[in-house]
């Protein structure tokens, strides 16, 4: 009896082990199948090719499509396609939809180039489409150069993404930070970790970064944040299609497109955030929107919004903390960070006073649903009012090379606002660096 039980137990064990083995093998091989390259297109309803890329060339044109959003805020239109157009080759286009499995008739597109393009040959452009009355539940959209022409199998379609929530739904995040573009071998790991952890302490729920390329250690850090869900990385291979400029001015920097397509990514990020975030801040990765009279962004915005109820755009002054000047006591010159590449923002406490005689750039906090088109330092089209936030209430802490190089150390302002957060900030930065495998072992506490 015991013997049979023993045998049965052994058989059961053998069976279980084999089963697990086979299961793991099946999962692994199916994963391998999924990893075979060519994930760019998929066949969906309407038997059309749906682009799953962040940049989609538009057939028969030199234009690039980025994303399509349901947007009924402008009368007569239903869908906005954010695009990058060759500005001297804009010809009429026609919108076509996939409607519950059927292809619609075409409607004429309204092409709206953004006013900011800084002289580059390519510029951000919105294509506005009206869904035909006969179309029920449009799921995908594409553009044709001629109305109702035969659609080739090469034609790529964009999914139409939502921008509104229904009444019962809650927005997922209070604040989203949109970091436009990462390019080159940018590897400023310590400053990025400190900035992202500062955002989190200030109440940011999601950060979106458009990534063309980055350095190896920063790649590890960003993967860590992305796995955790705090960071959404949008691949942005604009250099595969155009010669992106490393600068903001065509006459100075040359190239096809302003700053790796920063304007298109900022606009995309606002629309991407409409159905999930109360506020969106548009800033660079070396900038922190810092409240000086409140502990966090939610408290700041609730006060600002009370005094400015119809405002959807808040302009924040940019203040530079030059990285050549260090706090002399070395209080936050921490040994565990000595092998981490990048700037330690806690060591830079000297702030330039901006030269208000020259144009002073702002960065922006917006209510995404009140914005139609944005640029970098201002909003181009909005449904609400714009408010300039006083710098003693909130300013950008921007640690970088000096802007006003003529200023001596004595002419700078001592500003230790970041230090108010050190008790939480430092352990949080250590934790994420350790998880990314970027803290040297002797520095580990
Ligand atoms: C469009 O397709 C139909 C059916 O395949 C064909 O008869 C017609 O000639 C085509 N029209 C053009 C303009 O190619
Ligand atoms: C949004 O902010 C409010 C007020 O500070 C807070 O109570 C709430 O938990 C926050 N929601 C999220 C999703 O972070
Ligand atoms: C950023 O893009 C580059 C180039 O495609 C890629 O090698 C890198 O892994 C990406 N990093 C992240 C964090 O997505």
CA 276 to chain centre: 13
The residue contributing the CA closest to ligand 2 atom 1 is 174
| Phi, psi angle pair for 201, to nearest 5° | -65, -30
The residue contributing the CA closest to ligand 3 atom 1 is 213
The residue contributing the CA closest to ligand 2 atom 7 is 298
CATH architecture of 48-161: Sandwich (2.60)
Q: Which CATH number fits domain 173-435: 3.40.50, 3.30.60, 3.90.550, 3.30.420?
A: 3.90.550
Ligand (nearest to CA of 149)? 1
For residue 242, the CA-to-ligand 2 centroid distance in Å is 41
Q: Where would I find the H helices in 274-344? A: 297-307
CA 317 to chain centre: 21
The H or E element spanning position 100 is none
Q: What is the pLDDT along the chain (445 residues), one digit of tens a residue?
A: 445 556 566 656 555 655 555 554 444 444 443 333 333 444 456 889 999 899 999 999 999 999 999 999 999 999 999 999 999 999 999 999 999 989 999 999 999 999 999 999 999 999 999 999 999 999 999 999 999 788 888 899 999 999 988 877 889 999 999 998 999 999 999 999 999 999 999 999 999 999 999 999 999 999 999 999 999 999 999 999 999 998 888 988 889 999 999 999 999 999 999 999 999 999 999 999 999 999 999 999 999 999 999 999 999 999 999 999 999 999 999 999 999 999 999 999 999 999 877 777 899 999 999 999 999 999 999 999 999 999 999 999 999 999 999 999 999 999 999 999 999 999 999 999 999 999 975 444 4
The residue contributing the CA closest to ligand 3 atom 12 is 219
Q: Which two tokens stand for residue 88?
A: 């001297």
Strand partners, 373: 381
393 lines ligand 2 (CB under 6 A): no
Angle at Cα 46 formed by Cα 156 and Cα 34, nearest 5°?
65
Long-range contacts of 352-356 (CB under 8 A, 24+ apart): 352/319, 352/320, 352/321, 352/322, 352/402, 352/403, 352/404, 352/407, 352/412, 352/413, 353/407, 353/411, 353/412, 353/413, 354/317, 354/318, 354/319, 354/320, 354/404, 355/404
Radius of gyration of the chain (CA): 26
Other Cβ atoms less than 10 A from the Cβ of 223: the count is 13
**Roughly what angle, to the nearest 10 degrees, separates helices 189-201 and 216-228?**
20
| Residue carrying the six token digits 């090379």 | 401
For residue 307, the CA-to-ligand 2 centroid distance in Å is 20
Give pTM, 2 decimals. Answer: 0.87
Task: Domain ranges for the chain, please list them.
Answer: 48-161, 173-435
Angle at Cα 72 formed by Cα 68 and Cα 78, nearest 5°?
55
């Amino acid at each position: 009896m015991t013997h049979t039980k023993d045998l049965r137990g052994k058989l059961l064990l053998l069976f279980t082990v084999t089963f697990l083995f086979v299961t793991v093998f099946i999962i692994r091989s199916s994963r391998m199948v999924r990893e075979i390259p060519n994930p760019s297109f998929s066949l969906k309803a309407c038997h059309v090719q749906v682009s799953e890329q962040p940049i989609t060339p538009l057939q028969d044109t030199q234009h690039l499509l980025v994303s399509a959003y349901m947007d009924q805020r402008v009368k007569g239109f239903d869908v906005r396609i954010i695009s990058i157009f060759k500005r001297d080759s804009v010809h009429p286009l026609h919108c076509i939809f996939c409607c519950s499995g059927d292809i619609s008739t075409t409607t004429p597109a309204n092409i709206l180039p953004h006013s900011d393009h800084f002289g580059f040959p390519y510029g951000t452009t919105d294509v506005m489409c009206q869904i035909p009355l006969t179309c029920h539940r449009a799921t995908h959209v594409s553009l044709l150069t001629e109305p109702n022409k035969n659609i080739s199998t090469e034609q790529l379609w964009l999914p139409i993404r939502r921008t509104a929530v229904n009444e019962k739904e809650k927005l997922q995040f209070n604040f989203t930070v949109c970091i436009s573009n990462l390019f080159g071998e940018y590897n400023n790991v310590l400053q990025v970790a400190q900035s992202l952890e500062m955002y989190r302490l200030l109440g940011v729920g999601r950060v979106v970064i458009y990534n063309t390329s980055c350095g190896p250690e920063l790649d590890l850090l960003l993967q860590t944040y992305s796995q955790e869900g705090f960071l959404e990385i949008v691949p942005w291979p604009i250099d595969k299609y155009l010669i992106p400029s490393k600068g903001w001015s065509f006459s100075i920097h040359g190239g096809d497109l302003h700053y790796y397509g920063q304007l298109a990514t900022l606009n995309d990020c606002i629309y991407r955030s409409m159905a999930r975030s109360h506020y969106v801040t548009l800033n660079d990765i070396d900038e922190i929107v810092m409240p000086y009279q409140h502990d966090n962004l939610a408290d700041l915005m609730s006060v600002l919004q009370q005094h400015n109820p119809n405002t959807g755009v808040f302009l924040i002054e940019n203040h530079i903390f030059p990285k050549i000047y260090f706090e002399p006591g070395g209080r936050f010159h921490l040994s565990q960070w000595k092998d981490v590449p990048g700037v330690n923002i806690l060591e830079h406490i000297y702030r330039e006073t901006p030269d208000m005689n020259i144009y002073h750039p702002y960065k922006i906090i917006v209510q995404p649903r009140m914005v139609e088109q944005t640029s970098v330092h201002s909003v181009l089209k909005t449904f609400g009012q714009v408010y300039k936030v006083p710098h003693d209430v909130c300013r950008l802490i921007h640690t970088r090379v000096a802007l006003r190089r003529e200023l001596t150390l004595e002419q700078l302002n001592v500003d230790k606002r970041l230090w108010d957060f050190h008790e939480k900030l430092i352990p949080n930065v250590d934790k994420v660096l350790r998880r990314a495998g970027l803290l040297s072992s002797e520095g580990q506490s």
